[in-house]
Amino acid sequence: MLIDEAIILVEAGDGGDGRVAFFPNYGKPAGGDGGRGGDLYAVVDPNLSTLLKYTRTLSYHAPDGQVGRSSTKNGKDGENLTLRFPIGTLLIDTVTHESIELTQGKPVLLCKGGQGGWGNASVSRKNQGVFSTAYPGKPGQKRKFHVIMRLIADCGLIGLPNAGKSSLLNVLTDAHAKVANYPFTTLEPNLGILKVQSTPLRQDFEGQAPLRQDFEGQAGQKVQSEEKRIILADIPGLIEGASEGKGLGDKFLKHIEKVRVLLHCISCETADMVADYQKIRQELAAYNPDLLKKQEMLVLTKVDVLCDDTARFKLEKIAQGLASNVVFVSVLDDTTISRLVAAIASAC
């Protein structure tokens, strides 16, 4: 199961208390300051693909600063703690509603560590005549976050339940998504990698950077091809009202926000292609109108069920009125799948 949400409590370290101490021989104040509490940061880790570990451990605490020592020595600062998240993770503060999006790059400070308290040596330097007072350390910042992971995929297979999305993911990639003839077979998004061999490029033999696959071409030339890896996400079926919580709700619409190209799947078994198409587009718009601006390909699935070319021609005409890029496929026909692969490769 894809774990894509969690609630976590994060705490920076408390500052260490200042100490009251005196030099033994001449009685001057010698208590050191407390150490600073560790800060707590969040950073992207490209090797992570789920939030699983954040459902096992719910709270994280950076180390506290140490208490001040004698002989005017300060306590050690607490070390900073950095939590790692998958790319595209969104952290929403449950109180202030501030949202922090983690993209690759610098760690983001979530909670600031508390200052260490002054020991009596510092206090007496700043306030004349006060010798035996020290201050406690300040508490570290505490925050609670709603953590949401949004899938980073190149293409998202979207559509009504039973449109054939998981079947396509399985033939295009090594995924083993469950396929069945009833709605909502897929309850969590499935990911797969489509490997496409790019058109071989002929280049002069000299001074080339090594590519993944090289093989000899005509005399004096080397023919090279490169593998392109395209991440496909099979998004659970959407229905009318999904953006208001119907069916599986809007839980999965957030994943579509991160996808570059939408593969909108409509089964050729449909009674009304325009209505099917508009239902999904309306849900996308209701969730976030920017989703409609994404590059889209209309994938008409299960073309093998059409009994003749006339039926196909009719559907094609309607589809061309809806989208500029239309592809017919059947998982039972390799030629149609190769055409779809070529269309995806040129779109990504």
Ligand X SMILES: Nc1nc2c(ncn2[C@@H]2O[C@H](COP(=O)(O)OP(=O)(O)OP(=O)(O)O)[C@@H](O)[C@H]2O)c(=O)[nH]1
The binding site for ligand X (CB under 6 A) comprises 161-167, 179-181, 183-186, 236-237, 301-302, 304-305, 330-332
Q: Would you list the DSSP string of 38-73?
A: PPEEEEE-TT----THHHH--EEEPPPPPPP-STTP
Q: What is the closest distance, in whole angstroms, from the C-beta atom of residue 157 to ligand X in the complex?
A: 8
CA nearest to 157, candidates 346, 342, 340: 340
Residue 56 phi, psi dihedral angles, 5° rounding: -90, -45
CB 188 within 8 A of CB 1: yes
Quote the CA–CA distance of 11 and 111 in Å, as a whole number.
6
Quote the CA–CA distance of 225 and 299 in Å, as a whole number.
28
Q: What is the closest distance, in whole angstroms, from the C-beta atom of residue 159 to ligand X in the complex?
A: 6
CA nearest to 160, candidates 281, 254, 265: 265
Q: CB under 5 A: which stretch of 3-11, 78-86, 179-187, 196-204 binds Mg ion? A: 179-187
Q: CB under 5 A: which stretch of 16-24, 53-61, 178-186, 290-298 binds Mg ion? A: 178-186
Quote the CA–CA distance of 324 and 72 in Å, as a whole number.
75
Contacted entry of Mg ion, ligand X, none for residue 302, CB cut-off 5 to 8 Å set by kind: ligand X
Our CB check for ligand X shows the closer of 52 and 187 to be 187
Q: What is the closest distance, in whole angstroms, from the C-beta atom of residue 172 to ligand X in the complex?
A: 12
The reply on whether position 122 binds Mg ion by CB under 5 A is no
Our CB check for ligand X shows the closer of 50 and 185 to be 185
Our CB check for ligand X shows the closer of 116 and 192 to be 192
Q: What is the closest distance, in whole angstroms, from the C-beta atom of residue 238 to ligand X in the complex?
A: 8
Our CB check for ligand X shows the closer of 239 and 322 to be 239
Contacted entry of ligand X, Mg ion, none for residue 133, CB cut-off 5 to 8 Å set by kind: none
Quote the CA–CA distance of 106 and 103 in Å, as a whole number.
9
Contacted entry of Mg ion, ligand X, none for residue 181, CB cut-off 5 to 8 Å set by kind: ligand X
Quote the CA–CA distance of 187 and 195 in Å, as a whole number.
25
Within residues 2-21, the interface with Mg ion by CB under 5 A covers none
Q: CB under 5 A: which stretch of 183-191, 196-204, 299-307, 335-343 binds Mg ion? A: 183-191
Within residues 184-203, the interface with Mg ion by CB under 5 A covers 185-186
Our CB check for Mg ion shows the closer of 166 and 336 to be 166
Beta-sheet strand order (sheet of 213-216): 201-204, 221-225, 213-216
3-state secondary structure of 180: coil
Our CB check for Mg ion shows the closer of 161 and 217 to be 161
Our CB check for ligand X shows the closer of 182 and 215 to be 182
Q: Tokens 């040129």 map to which residue?
A: 346
Q: What is the closest distance, in whole angstroms, from the C-beta atom of residue 275 to Mg ion in the complex?
A: 21
Q: Tokens 């500029």 map to which residue?
A: 324
Listed in order, strand segments (DSSP E) in 160-218 are 190-197, 201-204, 213-216
Beta-sheet strand order (sheet of 142-149): 59-61, 5-11, 142-149, 89-93, 99-101
Our CB check for ligand X shows the closer of 185 and 225 to be 185
Q: What is the closest distance, in whole angstroms, from the C-beta atom of residue 254 to ligand X in the complex?
A: 17
Q: What is the closest distance, in whole angstroms, from the C-beta atom of residue 171 to ligand X in the complex?
A: 9
Q: What is the closest distance, in whole angstroms, from the C-beta atom of residue 315 to ligand X in the complex?
A: 14
Query: Would you tell me which residues interact with Mg ion (CB under 5 A)?
Result: 166, 185-186
